[in-house]
A and B are shown apart, each in its own frame.
Chain A
Amino acid sequence: MTQAPVSTVVTASDVEPALVPAISSRAPGGKARKKKTKDPKPKITWDRIKAQRVLLLMAVPLLMYQILFKYVPVYGWSIAFQDYKPGRGSIWNQEWVGFENFVDLFTGVNGERFRRVVVNTVGQSVLSLLVGTVGAIVLALLLNEVKNLPFKRVLQNITYMPHFLSWVIVASLASVALSMPSSGGFINQVLMNVGLVDEPVLFLTEPNYFWGIVAGTNLWKELGWNTILYLAAITAIDPSQYEAAEVDGAGRYRKMWNITLPGIRPTIVVLLIINSGWILSTNFELPYFLGNGLIAEKAETIDVFVLRYGYQLGNYSLAVVAGIFKTIVAIILVGSANAAAKRLNQETLV
């Protein structure tokens, strides 16, 4: 009951292997797929309601709470169809303008900026996702080759650590690391000592570096954490496959390439698909903290646009339109990603 596995190695073997495909159908961030339960549907009768009044008392107020805090805010979407001025008081006193704000955001004066914002969001997310996935797979393969278990455990614990630091701290560390040597910028220091550059690089004022900085910082923060599921998937590979390959004379790299990688392929595919459902929803903090006026053209993402341009500058209507756009696209993406993952799950995992 209270077993607290110290490392993934122990844990993965504690868990029934049948669970590992199930693991792979979820992203670590917490997107559970709804699974049809096989329990019979309970009939609703007056007697049952009376008999279950305590259960109802435990559940229904919290249901109301959830509806109030997660669904009721949709009334705020009406701002999208108004020329919202905070000075006019509540949203019932505003002037209705139909789809004017939508036209403005997608084609009008703000159209160009918004298109750039969408491109930045997708670009930063895709780059981070690809770099992060490749990095995590490589690290999982290398960790899997470490036979000294205490050493492996120490490595895992060190690489998981940044996952628990807040984005504010990580952005703060990144801004110091990337600054001038005089401000403690050790990356520039290293580059200059090695002789790669003569002058310190102005990382955070050059727009073209920004997507790379976002991907790199994400990699640093989540690299170790993202290996957990791949390591679990590797543990689930039938060892007799490796033994058979050894008998056939396969070396280390052949085994990696021909057994381990195909073995975790379903996990890779499912995680990629599920994470791609969140492409418009990731990358908020880093662009917000590290982005500045000089690099806004590459740094500003949808969420930053909503917070800066909408909330902080009072352009509520446009920000809500951008938010609606994001929510609807995200639902479509997450929905189809989940459907795709489910189909793949059935075909390749079971």
Chain B
Amino acid sequence: MRLKVFRHRQGMSEPRYDTFEMEAAPGMTVLSALFKIQEEFDDSLAFRYSCRGAVCGSCAMLINKVPRLACRTQLMPLLAGEQEISLSGYPAIGGPVSWDPKEDVLVEPLPHLPVICDLVVDMTRFFAFYRDIDPVFSPLDPDPEKERLMDPSDVRELELYTNCILCGACFAACPVDAKNPRFSGPAALASLYRFCIDPREGRRIERLKTADTPDGWWGCEFHANCRQVCPRGVPPIVAIGQARQEIKKQRKEGEEM
């Protein structure tokens, strides 16, 4: 098989693709293939990594045109066509690169973010949207002596969203983020929703309203790419849908009063 890897660093006039031949052993991941390249063939290849167990969110990249974590994506199932995800397509993600899906695995940086070097992108804009939703718990009541009580079923619903590892895969898969640089994006909105449904939180309604804007809850076009690519099963699209329902309900109640 061949790993076809996007290469770009400062000073290069335009990006190129390097192709590395290797044997795909069972269980071998894209991340371990990248390490093999870096250690044995070309030590200038750049990519982020840390946990290698799909929990830290460092290694999200575009693999066969789908944003995925390199550490949890194995080569052999990709080549066998077993891990196809059909995304609602758009130009930034479906750019004109030719590759043979039976022989090649195509590895590129996440789109919508500036490339620093090879597969390393500048995540500043992604994290700026996260900061903008003010992701800090703010209870109204003073801290009790012990823990605040929580119903286990509330925890289960919250966990859907606290599981987000901020890897940026959803942001990269979102066609709205591709065309609207102001759209908060799925990860930030899912994180915001987590505070809107935390029964301990003091500003739930206020928070819901902070994204009651064309670039917040209302920016989503329900392509559902976010939910498909999330490596942790987080469904931002569900959060956005429920937030909209809640806002409509609030407005209606406001009119009736």
Pair from one complex: no
Residues of chain A having any CB pair with chain B under 8 Å: none
Residues of B within 8 A of A (CB): none
